[in-house]
Amino acid sequence: MVVYSFYIFDRHAECIYKKKWASRPTSTGSSRSQQANGLPDGASQQKALSAEDDAKLVFGTIFSLRNMVRKLGGEDDRFISYRTGQYKLHYYETPTSLKFVMVTDTKTNNLRIVLHQIYVSLYVEFVVKNPLSPVEHPRGIGVNCEMFELGVEQFVNASLMS
């Protein structure tokens, strides 16, 4: 199994943690865009999004899909994951509206339990119970806890990438 990236969003839609392990595969389309003068504009060589833009796109996707699931299925239905041709996005939301998102390859089974374990075993233990860690993360100030980062790295490498 390949883990591409992991994100944590707070209740204010700010990305407070992001970690990338591998880059997601890009689709291989045969269409090429051209400038007004007829020359290829380089769009066929997809530019890598900045980490901030990537996090905003991921949050916008989960926000939209979560709302669509609630409107179509009712309040009891939950958005868990979705799959494209290149990746699968896994989602877990805590009672305090923290959103844990992991992007993996398409062959991966549901990781909702894994995301819950990361929340309970790592986030709560190393971030919430840390007296030096802020309760809120205003203006994009993210999780700055070395023990949490090390724990996530070890957990993903040991549990998911083996």
Query: What are the pLDDT digits (tens) for 125-150?
Result: 998 888 877 777 666 567 888 899 99
What's the rounded Cα separation, in Å, for the pair 98 and 133?
16
pLDDT in tens, 31-44: 444 444 444 444 43
What's the rounded Cα separation, in Å, for the pair 50 and 94?
27
pTM across the whole model: 0.80
| Mean pLDDT score across all residues of the chain | 80
Count Cβ neighbours within 10 Å for each residue of 6-32 and write b for 16 or more, e otherwise: bbbbbeeebbbbbeebeebeeeeeeee
Query: Above 60 in pLDDT, residue 3?
Result: yes
What's the rounded Cα separation, in Å, for the pair 143 and 135?
10
Query: Above 60 in pLDDT, residue 95?
Result: yes
